[in-house]
Amino acid sequence: MTTASRVLGLIPARGGSKGVPRKNLRPLGEVPLVVRAIRTGLGCPSITDLCVSTEDEEIAAVCAEAGAKVPFLRPAELATDVAPTLPTMQHALAEMEKITQEKYEYLVLLEPTSPFRTEDDVEGALSALRGSDADSIVGVTRLASHHPIFIKKIEDGLLVPFVMPEPEGTRRQDARPPAYCRNGAIYVFRTEKTTRRGRLYGDKVLPWVMPDERSVNIDREVDFRVAESLIDS
């Protein structure tokens, strides 16, 4: 194996989906979600090899036609509703290194369910991680109306703060400190610090902040409707 810096782009696309059936093949603006992810990955010059991990023959054929590498099928035990992401990443990394006889320093995870990420997002996140000593970088979006200060729970029939009190009259734009949540759009991992060690994120995680319009994550039918409205606008 060579020691040159190489980047593996990985698109996980299993066939099963409960919230939106056959979600990864569902067209958005006439382009299947998984193909949108492939086009983004292929448009990133820093990604050395782009592969799809799937157990589904139909998805594999669509992805191969779209230009992604599909040199293996994901084992069935890694394609269930409860299968975690890390073993899928480890399996893909090992298979691709066996095939290419190269060692990947970075792994970029591109979920098909985030159709509005851009090549600039991916390249920027990768560049930021490369220029740091962090273990990974994760796409996030800033919370406004869902800031933790507004989140409640019910105890003894009463509405009480979930994690932090809300001063009366707090407006969403005044909520402090700023809060962020993972948007599912971009994950970049330094493989020696994470995947190879059985870690997902590692100890040092950088944020890649993205606006709401590029942070739509399709998990339910209503999310698909939101995405369609953005495509049509």
String of b and e for 103-125 (b: at least 16 CB within 10 Å)? bbbbbbbbbbbbbbbebebbbeb
Residues 196, 90: Cα–Cα separation, whole Å: 7
Q: Is 9 helix (H, G, I), strand (E, B) or coil?
A: strand
Residue with tokens 């157990």: 55
List the structure tokens of 215: 């942070």
* Whole-number pLDDT of residue 145: 81
The CATH code of the domain at 7-141+181-232 is 3.90.550.10
* Whole-number pLDDT of residue 3: 44
pLDDT in tens, the chain (233 residues): 444 589 999 999 998 777 778 899 999 999 999 999 999 999 999 999 999 999 999 999 999 999 999 999 999 999 888 889 999 999 999 999 999 999 999 999 999 999 999 999 999 999 999 999 999 999 999 998 889 899 999 999 999 999 888 888 888 887 888 899 999 999 999 999 999 999 999 999 999 999 999 999 999 999 999 999 998 75
170: DSSP letter? -
* Whole-number pLDDT of residue 68: 96
Q: Is 48:163 a contact under the CB 8 Å cutoff?
A: no
Residue with tokens 């035990």: 77
Q: Is 54:62 a contact under the CB 8 Å cutoff?
A: no
> Residues of CATH 3.90.550.10 domain(s) within the chain?
7-141+181-232
* Whole-number pLDDT of residue 180: 94
pTM of the predicted structure, to 2 decimals: 0.92
